A and B are shown apart, each in its own frame.
Chain A
């Protein structure tokens, strides 16, 4: 299908894009990679009257790995993450894993990380990873830029803390310490399909082998990505034994509240969420040299 008619504005700068959004109000939408928005417009699920294209703004297209944070600008492509020089570092293994399974390789050439977070699809990959990695968003509003934790950013399906006339400028992932590894586990019927279930896991260990911090989140398990706080609490301060890993999986299965569809029943998807969390924890720990 062809989208409903709209007006197209190419923003020249971030200031220009923001001014356009302020002027145009709720009917305007930002066009970044467009890999979710354009299909939604084609199905007439979205009918913005104006698109503000930010792809030409060079200073939004960056990925910066600095001492305290890894920051991705609003038009940083998934494919740029995949090819980033630091992507093989163990501390970024969660981001490494997800960068290879978002949509398909061609969609990743256009798709953006920040756009995916703003879209906040219940089956999103980046939203789930951002929860486990405790990311934060930089949002520009009338009173300047503010920082929003991912937990406060994801409000409901397709709804975020970005309000009318505002725009998300970047996502920041805190740099984890050296004894950190992660894992993204996703089951999909075919490449590019929505996940049947997926789990993001990130674990930081103390020198004595106990867990300093755990991040565990699920995709396709509720109205938007779900943090499994119970599993995180179970692991924190403990030596991650096989029993604890199983218990964390059980907590994830309990926290999962999926919808049954052709990809699987509710019971199947809940069970799968638990399996993927346990599997992800074992793989993250293996990356830290701990076999369970």
Chain B
């Protein structure tokens, strides 16, 4: 079937099988391998992307067909003009990653979180990231990074 999906502002028109999962569509049909597949069963959150601006979705548990006509933001779409997104900068500054495998999902879940709650408390960040697993960094620096990004985005609302 034909699908037309806007990914990071670029329109992709592709012919896919209905059973194609969005994560594989992004990685294999669009060549955007920043979206990682971890557990492949909606447990780990490595594959989270943002649908229509503010909805965090595990892309291993959504069919590409369902995204037809919608807009997807992946980790590749965060940086603008060579400048890191405040979330990416904060993960860098706070050492919010070691191996980096879970990072795209952490970033995209955090992106949607800050759309809904621009000034989250530490416990709210912990709760909202509960569907994203990290096996090496530990969560403390990730939480600090999200908090830093919230401050940056609030003081510079023009930043995306």
Mask, B51-84, CB within 8 Å of A = 1, is 0000111100111011010000000000000000
Shortest CB-to-CB span from B42 to chain A, Å, is 6
Q: Knowing A8-B1, A39-B41 touch, does A110 contact B62 (C-beta < 8 A)?
A: yes
Q: Is A34 an interface residue (CB 8 A)?
A: yes
List the interface of chain A (C-beta within 8 A of B). Answer: 1-8, 10, 31, 34-35, 38-39, 41-43, 51, 53, 55, 83, 100, 103-107, 109-110, 191-192
Q: Which residue of B lies closest to A7 (CB)?
A: B18
| 15 A–B contacts from the bound complex (CB under 8 Å) | A1-B40, A5-B18, A5-B19, A34-B61, A38-B42, A38-B63, A53-B66, A55-B66, A104-B130, A105-B127, A105-B129, A106-B48, A109-B55, A110-B55, A110-B58
Q: Which residue of B lies closest to A191 (CB)?
A: B130
Closest 4 CB pairs of A and B: A104-B131, A8-B18, A191-B130, A106-B131
Q: Is B17 an interface residue (CB 8 A)?
A: yes
Q: Are A192 and B130 in contact (CB under 8 A)?
A: yes
Q: Are A8 and B61 in contact (CB under 8 A)?
A: no
Chain B residues, Cβ within 8 Å of A55: 66
A106 to B48, CA, bound (A): 8
Q: Are B131 and A34 in contact (CB under 8 A)?
A: no
Chain B residues, Cβ within 8 Å of A42: 40-41
Mask, B15-46, CB within 8 Å of A = 1, is 00111010010000000000000001111010
| Residues of B in contact, count (CB < 8 Å) | 31
A10 to B63, CA, bound (A): 12
Q: Are A8 and B131 in contact (CB under 8 A)?
A: no
Which of A5, A6, A35 contacts B42 (CB under 8 A)? A35
Q: What is the predominant secondary structure among interface residues of chain A facing chain B? A: loop
A35 to B59, CA, bound (A): 11
Shortest CB-to-CB span from A98 to chain B, Å, is 15
Chain A residues, Cβ within 8 Å of B45: 104, 106
Excluding A83-B116, A109-B112, 15 further A-B contacts by CB distance (< 8 Å) are: A3-B19, A34-B63, A39-B41, A43-B41, A53-B66, A104-B130, A105-B56, A105-B129, A105-B131, A106-B48, A106-B56, A106-B57, A106-B109, A107-B58, A107-B131
Q: Are A106 and B21 in contact (CB under 8 A)?
A: no
Q: Is B103 an interface residue (CB 8 A)?
A: no
Q: Are B58 and A106 in contact (CB under 8 A)?
A: yes
Q: Which residue of A lies closest to B44 (CB)?
A: A192
A29 to B17, CA, bound (A): 17
Q: Knowing A34-B61, A34-B62 touch, does A109 contact B56 (C-beta < 8 A)?
A: yes
Chain A residues, Cβ within 8 Å of B112: 109
Which of A1, A5, A7, A35 contacts B61 (CB under 8 A)? A35
Q: Are B128 and A105 in contact (CB under 8 A)?
A: yes
Q: Which residue of B lies closest to A38 (CB)?
A: B61
Mask, B97-115, CB within 8 Å of A = 1, is 0000000000001001000
Chain A residues, Cβ within 8 Å of B21: 2, 38
Q: Is B132 an interface residue (CB 8 A)?
A: yes
Q: Are B131 and A192 in contact (CB under 8 A)?
A: yes
A105 to B112, CA, bound (A): 11
Q: Which residue of A lies closest to B105 (CB)?
A: A106
Q: Which residue of A lies closest to B47 (CB)?
A: A106
Chain B residues, Cβ within 8 Å of A6: 18-19
Chain B residues, Cβ within 8 Å of A31: 63, 66
Shortest CB-to-CB span from B43 to chain A, Å, is 6
A105 to B117, CA, bound (A): 13
Chain B residues, Cβ within 8 Å of A104: 45, 130-131
Among A51, A53, A104, which residue has the most Cβ atoms of chain B within 10 A? A104
A65 to B71, CA, bound (A): 31
Chain B residues, Cβ within 8 Å of A34: 61-63, 66
Q: Which residue of B lies closest to A4 (CB)?
A: B19
